Amino acid sequence: MPGTRRARPSPGAAITSSPWIVVSIGVIVMVVLLVVALGSVRGRRTFAEAPPPAPTISLPQVPVATPTAPGATTRPPAPASGPVVPGLSPRSTVLPARPAPRPSASASGSGSRPAAPPPAAPPPVTGRYGVVSSFDGGFVGEVRLVNATGAARGWTVRLAFPRGRLVAVWVSGAEQGRGGFTDGVLTYRSGVDLAPGASVALQFHFEQTGTTRPSSCTVDGAACSGL
């Protein structure tokens, strides 16, 4: 219409109406950035160092043999001189044997005697056999027991009579133990330990033994005295 102004299009409206322009600008920017990146990578590339030169090998020198005149003889090298040992020739390598030392009389022990073994220790409880009374056809005997140690001890008495029979056996004035007569052997074990330094009598009544002397009497395996 006459009298009215026509509006000018703005640059933003032109870009919006033509989207291929934006795409072209983006592609150009990416190409420029790619070229710059490739240039920087090529500038920073490091090359491998050249290998070191191969070492030189020196050939050994062969000694040249000097010709000898015909008919000439070669002398062997003289041996090294060493210390001369008395009693040996200079060419000998064997040393003389030294005499063996003679053992002395004290070392051989010819005059010494073996030491005697120590005496056996006495049994803890000792026994002494005796006859209290005898009569026609039998007798009453005893074994007097003594504890010579410093501690209370039990004891075992064994009497052997090949003939006869046992009538009775008892401990005089003390607690009774256990006993039996089998195959001609009386075995009696104490019922209570015997105090240190104390003594007690084991008495027995035998008949038809033919003798008042037993064939053996022991207390804890040690022989009784008084036989």
- What pLDDT, in 10s, does the model give residues 11-62? 555 555 667 777 888 889 888 888 888 877 666 555 445 566 666 666 666 5
Domains observed in the chain: 125-222 (2.60.40.290)
pLDDT given for residue 140 in this prediction: 97
Nearest to 145 by CA among 177, 115, 167: 177
pLDDT given for residue 135 in this prediction: 93
Query: Residue 216 CA to chain centroid, in angstroms?
Result: 50
pLDDT at 69 over 60: no
d(CA 8, CA 22): 21
Q: What pLDDT digit, counting tens, does each position of 129-187 carry?
A: 999 999 999 999 999 999 999 999 999 999 999 999 999 999 998 899 999 999 999 99
Contacts of 111 (CB under 8 A, 6+ apart): 105
pLDDT given for residue 123 in this prediction: 75
pLDDT given for residue 142 in this prediction: 97
pLDDT at 9 over 70: no
d(CA 130, CA 141): 6
pLDDT at 6 over 60: no
Higher pLDDT, 215 or 106: 215
Higher pLDDT, 54 or 118: 118
Higher pLDDT, 176 or 122: 176
pLDDT given for residue 128 in this prediction: 97
pLDDT band at 85 (very low <50, low <70, confident <90, very high): low
**End-to-end Cα, the chain, rounded Å:** 176
